[in-house]
Amino acid sequence: VLYSQNLFGKLYPASTTKILTAYIIIKYCDLNDMVTVSSDAVANMAGSSVCGINAGDQISVQNLLYGLMLVSGNDAANALAEYYSGSIEEFAKVMNEEAGALGATNSHFVNANGLPDDEHYTTVYDMYLIFQEAIKSQAFVDIIKTKSIDVTFQDANGNDAFIIVFLGVLVSIILLISK
């Protein structure tokens, strides 16, 4: 490092939290597994970044990862956390253990999406360590380099549905196609 500034100062990570969420899910999960979205996963999302899933939707882990990383979907983060650990709180414990194992010891996570909390913090250096490990995964790299994708899933009524996801922009078109 030729120059650095504030590498170890405590910062609020916001949506960069999702890098660790994606890293854990990719490392430990089958990306083809199907997840049924709970009402808790999509509760209290008003005004935040979402990928547009609803309670009862059935969607693959991989497609949730696209919603997580391309549009910073807080709903996708919650659904993935519940899928992996049973609850957001339990997933946060896994996040802290995994961050520590990577040497990111000046961080503390309380949720999978990065929504504000005084006890949710990291440092630039810790996020560097986490990101450096995440990009070792080809699946992670493939997801973050994707510019757009049509994500298919089944809605709560069992209808086929899809969301067109663009990097940084969720097109609010969800077309239900009856079987």
Residues marked as catalytic: 15, 18, 72
% helix, strand, coil for the chain, step of 5 = 40, 20, 40
φ/ψ bin of 33: left (φ > 0), alpha (ψ from -120 to 50), beta (otherwise): beta
Q: 30 CB contacts (<8 Å, ≥6 apart)?
A: 61
Burial grade of 54 (CB within 10 A; 0-12, 13-18, 19 or more): middle
d(CA 45, CA 116): 13
